[in-house]
A = this chain, B = another copy of it.
Amino acid sequence: MFRAVGDQELFQETTRRFLEVEVPLAKVRDLAGTTDGYEPSFWRQGAQLGWTSLLVPEDAGGGSISGHGVVDLALVAYEFGLHAAPGPLIGTNVVAAALGRWGTDDQRAGPLADLLAGDAAGAWAHAEPAPNDGLGDLALTATRSGDGFSLHGVKSPVEAGRQAAYILVSARHESGPTQFLIPSNAPGLMIKPLHGLDMTRRHARLEFDGVTVPSTHLVGRPGSAGANIDWLLDLAVSIQLAEMCGALTWAFDTTVDWAFNRYSFGRPLASYQELKHRFADMKMWLEASCAISADAAAAMDRDQAQRSERVSAGKFYVGRYGPELMQDCVQMHGGIGVTFDHDLHLFLRRIVTDVPTYGTPGQHAARLTGILAGADR
């Protein structure tokens, strides 16, 4: 229900076919038992399809399909959601976009080239554990230390934090928010894998107990990253929203099929008015979710003033109603819907994991009020 236009159609179709062949749900289940959750060759092939280059300028080796890179990427993310596909899609693209926009020549030549080729994954280390888990909180500190900086603090959860070769870290410097790109093998960096709900993705806790990094690891000038981090947050959410819409679409379509084919008291479930009305609500939630998510991606590409409005309205809405849609799908399935053998939970896990990630629905609603209050003052 994300509408592809022109060249995007072929692009989306290619991604869809690739995912159907490479990571059918049986394969996703197999991969769930592995340490990383995806295979390097899978990711490299995906990169060749264009998954990692869409937000990177052509002069940095990237290129979009349609000139609207975020919308292009949203189409990929939608397919990822629809197939519960593994792979460090959001983190890699966030890091690639950051390097494409603000990276040094060295960062573009090395790390970015690796990301574009699919030879390495990226991770965005931004979220911090409670009580520093508010939107806009930033407690990890960067202090001058010789020629470089010393980082103190914790980032958690970081998606693909242990799989990524390059980690984009946001930190608080005395001059303001500051970003660093550090290699995952930076001396002193502790990367601890976490247990997680989502069987297809991996999260880690990154502990910086005086990790020293040279100035060449800076992404942008010290203290200048406030607006950039805000943009990256909007970017991460807009990709996440598309992915959520894909997962919701799978669950909805699967449950509609079930309702037509499952009989109770001699009638298909789809003939019971109470269930029909819940399907009507679910359809409304799904359409509204897809509408605002597509709009948020488009607003990112236009880089409009209302960009954050669209993104946060989207995260509020999809984050509020998406899980209810999923849980209604479970309820309609009955007991079988909460068994391990049924595929529904692969998508439920993904949606539920997305809800608090990159800001809860409530935090995004409060952010909207902040935006309004600022505009209104």
Q: Which chain A residues have a beta carbon within 8 Å of chain B's beta carbons?
A: 272-274, 276-277
Main secondary structure of the interface of A (DSSP, over half): helix
Q: Point out the residues of chain B lying under 8 angstroms from A273, CB to CB.
A: 272-274
Chain B residues with CB under 8 Å of A277's CB are 274
- Residues of B near A276 (CB, < 8 A) are 274
Contacts of A274 in B (CB 8 A): 273-274, 276-277
Q: How far is the CA of A274 from the CA of B276 in the complex (A)?
A: 9
A283 CB → nearest B CB, Å: 15
Closest to A276 in B: B274
Residue of B nearest to A272 (CB): B273
- Counted per complex, copies of this chain come to 2
> In the complex, A276→B274 CA distance in Å?
9
Chain B min CB distance to A269 (Å) = 12
In Å, the complex CA distance between A272 and B276 comes to 12
Task: Please name all residues of chain B whose beta carbon is closer than 8 Å to the beta carbon of A272 when the two chains form the complex.
Answer: 273
Nearest chain B CB to A280 CB, angstrom units: 10
Q: Can you name 6 A-B pairs with beta carbons within 8 Å?
A: A272-B273, A273-B273, A273-B274, A274-B274, A274-B276, A274-B277
CA distance A276 to B273 in the complex (A): 10
What separation, in Å, do the CA atoms of A273 and B264 have in the docked complex?
Answer: 15
Question: Would you give the shortest CB distance from A3 to chain B, in whole angstroms?
Answer: 32
Which partner residue on chain B sits nearest A277 by CB separation?
A: B274
CB distance from A254 to the nearest CB of B (A): 23
> Which chain B residue shows the least CB distance to A271?
B273
Q: Which residue of B lies closest to A278 (CB)?
A: B274
* CB of A92 to closest CB in B, whole Å: 42
Q: How far is the CA of A274 from the CA of B281 in the complex (A)?
A: 13
Give Cα distance in the complex from A273 to B272, angstroms.
7
Q: Which residue of B lies closest to A280 (CB)?
A: B274
Q: 6 tightest A-B contacts by CB?
A: A273-B273, A273-B274, A274-B277, A274-B274, A272-B273, A274-B276
Query: How long is the Cα–Cα vector from A277 to B272 in the complex, in angstroms?
Result: 11
Cβ distance A331 to chain B, nearest Cβ, rounded Å: 13
Assembly CA distance A274 to B277 (angstroms): 7
User: What separation, in Å, do the CA atoms of A272 and B272 have in the docked complex?
Assistant: 10
Q: Distance (Å) between the CB of A247 and the closest chain B CB? A: 27
Report the Cα distance A135→B348, complex, angstroms: 40
Within the assembled complex, what's the spacing in Å between the Cα atoms of A274 and B274?
4
CA A337 to CA B81, docked complex, whole Å? 44
What is the distance, in angstroms, from A292's C-beta to the closest C-beta of chain B?
26
Question: Shortest distance in angstroms between A145's beta carbon and chain B's nearest beta carbon?
Answer: 43
